[in-house]
């Protein structure tokens, strides 16, 4: 982008699961599309996953972001081309049909056809090579399957967006993130992609946005003029940008997340696979509660032990026999995103309900039980003053001592800050993502999801984003 003003029919702000799919659909429909991304373009394989370099180059604020509350909830945001799809593990869950049906009714979403969304999901799954991992499961993944099976609890393998080599060597897989799929598609169709370009605010003339004021990584500033703008910065940055631009309404008031608590478990044999994550998930109590596996590099094992380091630190000598697991809940609580004048990033808050706290308590105890049934010698729950769990009798002590305020609660799933639909007072955008009270500002990312879906939300985000982008393109074509 030159130092002078730039122009585009459509400006897409952000390049993650929502922005990349939006850009590809609109560019392939023949529209002049400019994508601006605050972070840089980082080729897959050029940084070690979960390393300090990756945190610095691909995460917002080096991965240190938190929603204030009692307890505070740590969260992560991708800040790079491809957004969160570049830093996650590629786990994929289709949008649940019952959730889609409930959203359509409760939020009065027009033409919200599950069959259409599932047909789009079919396309996405082909485009991203979504499938099961070839070959045997990793030892850490097998732990979840074995423990759940012994308890008679429902569990399955989570599909991933991975391209595997012809010989099926899972260690040589390539994650089919947005920088490998939809962003190149958008470029091939003529879209321009500008990285290192932060949108500070949109300039409005009444209900119509005319331009975006941007700051580049090298400090230069300019203006992008456009016909329509699609804000796709994610559930934190999208409402913050709208607020900075003077767009209020029901924006940023209903943040929803999947809070998680963790534990580390030590086994007799080596289970730690540092370059991958477990792909099994225990779904016996879904959608309220589910269990899965986390990345378990030595530093992340140490982090999981750090809440009671005095009692747990000696376990680090056996880190190869330790893996980290999580219990995730679908929260009833809600949070808020507030842009503050003069502060670069918004203030984020979140409040857990009493039910949420109790579900985290029981969830952590049930997860520890899965570990014991799988053969764990010792389990180390991630909260202050937690006991070492060696048998079922210790589970009662775990539950007695657990307080959510002492736990390291975190999340990687954020949504619902600009809910879509026609229901007055509870939605921030129309059924197709146009921000209420504007003529040409659209949101097309996780912000639109009315509630937390109870599963990894990125498949839902992509299906809805493609649906909305196609409706937009069709309307522009009809106008001639």
Q: How many CB atoms lie within 10 A of CB 393?
A: 8
CA R_g for the chain:
22
| Longest pairwise C-alpha distance within the chain | 71
Q: If you search the block for the tokens 């225990």, which residue do you land on?
A: 282
* Beta-strand relationship, 221-231 and 441-443: parallel
- Smallest CA-to-CA distance from 212 within 380, 375, 10 is with 10
Catalytic residue list: 413
Beta strand pairing status for 322-329 and 334-338? unpaired
DSSP 356-396: HHHHHHHHHHHHHHHHHHTT-SEEEESBTTPPPB-SHHHHH
Q: Which of 223, 234, 264 is nearest to 446 (CA)?
A: 234
Closest CA to 305 of 294, 297, 295, 316: 316
**Can you say whether residue 111 is alpha, beta or left, with left for phi > 0 and alpha for psi between -120 and 50 degrees?**
left
Beta carbons of 227 and 9 less than 8 angstroms apart: yes
Q: Per the omega criterion (within 30 degrees of 0), is the bond before 125 cis?
A: no
CA separation for the pair 14, 480 (Å, rounded): 28
CA 89 to CA 402: how far, in whole Å? 29
For residues 386 and 402, is the Cβ–Cβ distance under 8 A? yes
Distances (CA, A) of 260 to 91, 286, 402: 16, 14, 14
Residues with Cβ within 8 Å of 98's Cβ and at least 6 positions away in sequence, in order, are none
Q: How many CB atoms lie within 10 A of CB 385?
A: 13
């Amino acid at each position: 982008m030159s130092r002078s003003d730039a122009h585009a029919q459509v400006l897409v702000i952000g390049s993650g699961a929502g922005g990349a799919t939006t850009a590809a659909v609109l560019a392939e429909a023949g529209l002049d599309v400019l994508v601006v991304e605050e972070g840089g373009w980082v080729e897959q394989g050029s940084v070690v996953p979960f390393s300090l370099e990756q945190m610095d180059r691909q995460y917002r604020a080096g991965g240190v972001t938190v929603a204030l509350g009692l307890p505070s909830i740590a969260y992560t945001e991708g800040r790079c081309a491809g957004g969160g799809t570049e830093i996650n593990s590629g786990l994929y869950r289709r949008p649940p049909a019952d959730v889609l049906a409930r959203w359509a009714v409760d939020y009065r979403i027009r033409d919200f056809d599950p069959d259409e969304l599932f047909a789009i999901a079919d396309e996405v799954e082909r485009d991203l090579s979504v499938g099961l991992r070839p070959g045997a499961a990793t030892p850490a993944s097998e732990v979840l399957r074995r423990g759940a099976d012994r308890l008679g609890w429902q569990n399955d393998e989570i599909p991933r967006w991975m391209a595997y080599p012809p010989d099926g060597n899972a260690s040589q897989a390539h994650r089919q993130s947005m920088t490998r799929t939809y962003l190149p598609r958008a470029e091939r169709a003529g879209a321009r992609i500008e990285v290192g370009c932060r949108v500070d605010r949109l300039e409005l003339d009444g209900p119509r946005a005319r331009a975006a004021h941007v700051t580049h990584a090298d400090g230069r500033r300019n203006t992008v003029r456009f016909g329509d703008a699609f804000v796709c910065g994610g559930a934190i940055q999208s409402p913050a940008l709208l607020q900075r631009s003077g767009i209020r309404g029901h924006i940023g008031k209903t943040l929803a997340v999947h809070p998680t608590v963790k534990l580390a478990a030590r086994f007799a044999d080596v289970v730690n696979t540092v370059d991958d994550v477990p792909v099994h998930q225990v779904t016996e109590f879904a959608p309220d509660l589910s269990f899965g596996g986390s990345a378990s590099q030595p530093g992340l094992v140490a982090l999981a032990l750090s809440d009671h380091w005095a009692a747990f630190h000696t376990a680090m000598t056996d880190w190869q026999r330790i893996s980290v697991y999580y219990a995730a809940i679908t929260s009833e609580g809600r949070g808020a995103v507030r842009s503050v004048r003069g502060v670069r990033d918004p203030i984020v808050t979140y409040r857990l309900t009493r039910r949420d706290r109790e579900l985290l308590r029981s969830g952590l105890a049930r997860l520890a039980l899965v570990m014991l049934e799988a053969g764990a010698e010792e389990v180390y729950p991630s909260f202050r003053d937690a006991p070492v769990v060696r048998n079922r009798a210790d589970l009662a002590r775990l539950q007695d001592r657990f307080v959510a305020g002492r736990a390291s609660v975190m999340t990687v799933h954020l949504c619902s800050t600009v809910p879509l639909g026609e229901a007055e007072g509870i939605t921030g955008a129309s059924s197709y993502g146009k921000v209420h009270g504007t003529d040409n500002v659209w949101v097309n990312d996780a912000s639109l999801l009315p509630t937390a879906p109870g599963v990894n939300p990125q498949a839902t985000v992509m299906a809805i984003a493609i649906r909305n982008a196609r409706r937009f393109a069709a309307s522009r074509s009809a106008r001639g």
